[in-house]
């Protein structure tokens, strides 16, 4: 029996979006406005009204989870299993299906395989080896990210045009050529190829384009603001004949430019598709009005947006809290206290702390461990369990106590010292035979010329450094923070991370800087190492209820009753790197990120910043984020650390003209006043 309840459950704008079936449609769906309900209802409506057979509908998502959820919801509406929706899936799954049918057009057989990232990196490494490219200086991951960037732009090797200054990319292009030829030889492709190959087939075969574009009477695309250049081009071909393409998304939540997402696809949709109808879903079913008002006011400062105003028929709710703290440690204490205040009313699972950068979780982890608040890291690893942190701690442990064989094993070949498993096995056997530790066993083997010449150099250097660092600690009385800095420099660990230029290693360097900050809080190496041991073993018996810690990027698509947004300071949020690399575009994306963070909250939102941060071993004056000055006063409440002078500062307009057209916040102005005194 046909279920018509889904129509009655829609608001007027949602109904309009479901019923409009006569041409290109852009649905601007604000946060919490029910976009998934609209998409699934639209599919069901098309089928119910015999506008198309299920196999004539293509619905595209970004994740398998979203595709599965969409299919389940359609089934519930139809009151039967949604069979025949064979073209409902991710970009990659649909492209793989198309490519199987036309593989020969790009030099592949129909039974081609698809390689994952591990296989890609292994292949890149082999190519680098054959081309005498030093992977210690240039990360294969970094090379691969550049190749993916080219593919996302729709470029085969011959399509890439290099700028004169791109000396590094010139070498990458040669690797790309070899890499792509190797994929064809192996009858395989990577995930980026799936779309790239399909577009190239469409470009050269009008008959294939005509066949598919006539078949797909309706095309629906979820999270359209996250599409890249090649995905947009692919959709253009498939919508060529019927032009019934419906794209749903929110330009104010476009936060993935670093992954290749092009917000212009969304902003210029009506230019790409003539006679586009635009429908705005502005009624929010998630957050209180105060939260929505704060988010809307903030995002209104972006110029490049379609524009909308979120509202709710629900309650006004609590004012958004804006808290100023003396330092990062006080901020963690304050957040912990607020969690204690609400935990009787709200479960830990419905509380989230959303940070701009993952290193920020450390102070909160430290505080939660101390007061017994259970927590989980979403999309990441707990601070003291991160590989680079464990490496640093292992170096410190083996210096403090040379019998720590586990630490010795961990640092033996990190960074690379040409010490392989065979040598490690020999060291272990010698230690067992002589009833001694691994370090002494290594010295014994060196003294008796039992180590191969190439390995001998690396092992000897390490052992000499261990002696030197123990002397620094015990004789020269160098403090533990300075000691770790020496270890990182003299071992080559810092250089190893700096050489591998990718986002992952940048984050690792930030985490190590945060570790140095943490160490400053302890009087000596012993007390710090004791703290680490406790920190990594305290939460073994915690129940499933846990506070969620994650980056704002990782929070996209999630919602929580209570949300904390700490670290709203210039340089951190908006992030300095984003502004330096992308200018105004970078600033607008950072503001969109702030918007995403605020709109994750259903009931209570807390924004905070600190006046001082402990950074790289020193206290620095923090500058409140320019975003704070853009929040509406009537919808926020400030804590008692805002002095009268600070209250006045917050009334300043941030848009102050400078000779170089820079925009500065009142926080920056306060800082300048201070340093000029």
What is the torsional sign of CA 194, 199, 205, 210? positive
CA separation for the pair 52, 398 (Å, rounded)? 69
- Helix, strand or coil, per DSSP, at residue 370: helix
**Catalytic option among 148, 222, 282, 570:** 222
Residues facing residue 29 across a β-bridge: 281
H/E segment holding residue 600: none
- Helix, strand or coil, per DSSP, at residue 214: helix
Q: Which residues of 562-573 are buried (b: 16+ CB within 10 A; e: fewer)?
A: bbbbbbbbbbbb
DSSP 82-103: -TT-TTEEEHHHHHHHHHHHHG
**Catalytic option among 190, 193, 223, 365:** 223
**Measured distance between the N- and C-terminal CA atoms of the chain, rounded to whole angstroms:** 78
**Catalytic option among 40, 253, 360, 551:** 253
CA separation for the pair 445, 442 (Å, rounded)? 5
**Catalytic option among 13, 35, 500, 591:** 35
CA separation for the pair 329, 622 (Å, rounded)? 13
**Catalytic option among 151, 308, 386, 600:** 600
Closest by Cα among 190, 174, 218, 204 to 46: 218
Is residue 232 within 8 A of residue 262, CB to CB? The reply is yes
Is residue 438 within 8 A of residue 466, CB to CB? The reply is no
Is residue 623 within 8 A of residue 571, CB to CB? The reply is yes
CA separation for the pair 456, 460 (Å, rounded)? 6
Q: E strands along 293-425, which residues?
A: 320-327, 351-355, 375-377
CA separation for the pair 384, 366 (Å, rounded)? 10
DSSP conformational letter for 26: E
**Catalytic option among 16, 36, 318, 450:** 36
What is the torsional sign of CA 35, 36, 40, 41? negative
CA separation for the pair 612, 615 (Å, rounded)? 9
Alpha-helical runs (H) found in 372-452:
387-400, 405-411, 421-434, 438-447
Is residue 423 within 8 A of residue 459, CB to CB? The reply is yes
Does 655 participate in catalysis according to the annotation?
A: no
Does 253 participate in catalysis according to the annotation?
A: yes
Does 222 participate in catalysis according to the annotation?
A: yes
Closest by Cα among 591, 577, 631 to 305: 591
Does 227 participate in catalysis according to the annotation?
A: no
Tell me the pairing of strands 618-621 and 601-615: antiparallel
Does 135 participate in catalysis according to the annotation?
A: no
Is residue 85 within 8 A of residue 71, CB to CB? The reply is yes
Name the residues annotated as catalytic.
Answer: 35-36, 222-223, 253, 600
């Amino acid at each position: 029996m046909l279920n018509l309840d889904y129509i009655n459950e829609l608001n007027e704008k949602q109904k309009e979006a479901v019923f409009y079936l006569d041409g290109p449609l852009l649905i601007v769906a604000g946060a919490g406005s029910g976009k998934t309900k609209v998409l699934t209802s639209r599919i069901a409506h098309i089928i119910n009204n015999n506008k198309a057979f299920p196999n004539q509908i293509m619905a595209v998502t970004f994740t398998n989870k979203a595709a599965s959820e969409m299919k389940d919801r359609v089934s519930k509406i139809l009151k039967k299993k949604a069979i025949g929706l064979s073209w409902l899936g991710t970009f990659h799954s649909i492209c793989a299906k198309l490519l199987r049918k036309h593989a020969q057009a790009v030099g592949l057989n129909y039974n081609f395989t698809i390689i994952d990232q591990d296989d890609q990196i292994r292949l890149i490494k082999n190519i680098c080896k054959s081309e005498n490219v030093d992977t210690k200086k240039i990360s294969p991951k970094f090379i691969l990210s550049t190749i993916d960037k080219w593919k996302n732009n729709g470029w085969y090797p011959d399509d890439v045009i290099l700028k004169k200054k791109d000396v590094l990319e010139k070498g990458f292009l040669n690797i790309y050529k070899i890499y792509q030829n190797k994929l064809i030889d192996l009858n395989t492709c990577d995930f980026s190829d799936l779309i790239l190959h399909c577009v190239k087939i469409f470009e050269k075969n009008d008959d294939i384009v005509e066949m598919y574009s006539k078949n797909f009477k309706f095309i629906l695309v979820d999270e359209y603001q996250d599409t890249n250049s090649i995905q947009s081009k692919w959709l253009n071909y498939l919508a060529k004949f019927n032009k019934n393409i419906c794209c749903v998304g929110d330009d104010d939540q476009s936060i993935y430019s670093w992954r290749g997402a092009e917000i212009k696809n969304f902003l210029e949709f009506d230019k790409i598709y003539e006679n586009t109808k635009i429908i705005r879903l502005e009624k929010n079913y998630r957050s209180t009005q105060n939260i929505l008002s704060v988010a809307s006011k903030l995002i209104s400062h972006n110029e490049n947006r379609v524009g909308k105003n979120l509202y709710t028929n629900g309650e006004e709710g609590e004012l958004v809290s804006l808290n100023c703290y003396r330092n990062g440690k006080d901020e963690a204490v304050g957040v912990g206290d607020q969690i204690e205040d609400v935990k009787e009313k709200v479960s830990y699972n419905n509380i989230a702390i959303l940070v701009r950068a993952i290193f920020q979780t450390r102070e909160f982890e430290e505080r939660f461990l101390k007061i017994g608040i259970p927590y989980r890291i979403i999309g990441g690893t707990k601070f003291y369990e991160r590989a680079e942190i464990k490496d640093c701690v292992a170096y410190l442990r083996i210096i403090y106590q040379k019998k720590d064989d586990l630490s010795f094993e961990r640092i033996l070949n990190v960074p690379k010292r040409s010490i392989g498993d065979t040598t490690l096995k020999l060291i272990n056997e010698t230690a067992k035979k002589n009833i001694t530790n691994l370090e002494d066993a290594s010295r014994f083997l060196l003294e008796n010329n039992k180590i191969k010449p190439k390995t001998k150099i690396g092992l000897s250097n390490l052992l000499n450094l261990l002696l030197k660092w123990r002397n620094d600690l015990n004789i020269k009385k160098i403090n533990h923070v300075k000691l770790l800095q020496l270890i990182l420099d003299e071992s080559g660990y810092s250089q190893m991370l700096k050489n591998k230029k990718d986002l992952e290693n940048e984050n690792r360097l930030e985490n190590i800087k945060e570790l140095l900050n943490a160490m400053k809080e302890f009087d000596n190496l012993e007390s710090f190492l004791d703290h680490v041991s406790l920190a990594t073993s305290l939460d073994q018996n915690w129940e499933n209820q846990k506070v969620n810690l994650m980056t704002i990027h990782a929070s996209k698509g999630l919602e929580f009753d209570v949300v904390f947004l700490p670290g709203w300071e210039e340089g951190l949020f908006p992030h300095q790197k984003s502004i330096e690399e992308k200018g105004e575009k970078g600033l607008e994306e950072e503001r969109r990120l702030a918007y995403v963070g605020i709109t994750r909250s259903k009931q209570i939102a807390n924004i905070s910043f600190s006046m001082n941060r402990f950074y790289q071993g020193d206290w620095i004056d923090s500058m409140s984020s320019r975003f704070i000055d853009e929040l509406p006063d009537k919808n926020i409440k400030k804590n008692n650390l805002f002095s009268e002078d600070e209250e006045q500062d917050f009334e300043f307009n941030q848009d102050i003209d400078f000779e170089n057209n820079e925009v500065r916040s009142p926080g920056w102005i306060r800082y300048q006043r201070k340093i000029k005194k």
